[in-house]
Amino acid sequence: YFEKINSFVVQNSLRDFVKFAGAVPSADEFIGELDILLVPSFDEAFPTVILEAFSAGTPVIASNVGGIPEIIEDGVTGFLFPVGDSAKLASILNTIIYDKNLLARISTSASKVAREAYNIRISNSKIAMCLREVLE
């Protein structure tokens, strides 16, 4: 399958835009270096890679399947597109390539969500509070 994708990249003169990284020693560092994380899944439960990207301030574009819409608020913390809708994906890419302010706002909002909604300390405090209420 790699050869098929690589041939497509070469035939369409995309070598300057596509990099095949292979295995990376540190996912955090790698994700932080990306301009955009694309998650074009056809089926997905709750991809934590999106939360890792949020934490790194890396904007995310993802298909709207499974638990992804629970993580990404479309146009606020990232971008969603219908599964297999390459025209919508291309439209989103075109928009963010030419609107760096939008990309910066998305990045800031996503980072805030990672710090506040998916913070282990905050989550543990909420659980402890609920347990205290139940036990009282």
pLDDT in tens, 115-136: 887 777 777 788 888 888 888 7
Q: Is the pLDDT of residue 27 over 80?
A: no
| Helices and strands (H, E) in the chain, number of each type | 7, 3
pTM of the model as a whole: 0.76
pLDDT-derived band of residue 85, with 50, 70 and 90 as boundaries? very high
In angstroms and rounded to an integer, the radius of gyration of the C-alpha atoms of the chain is 18
Q: Are 92 and 75 in contact (CB under 8 A)?
A: no
Residue 118: CB atoms within 10 A of its CB come to 15
Amino acid residing at 21: A
Q: What is the pLDDT of residues 62-75, one digit of tens each?
A: 999 999 999 999 99
Q: Compute the average pLDDT of residues 75-104.
A: 91
Flag whether pLDDT at 99 surpasses 80. yes
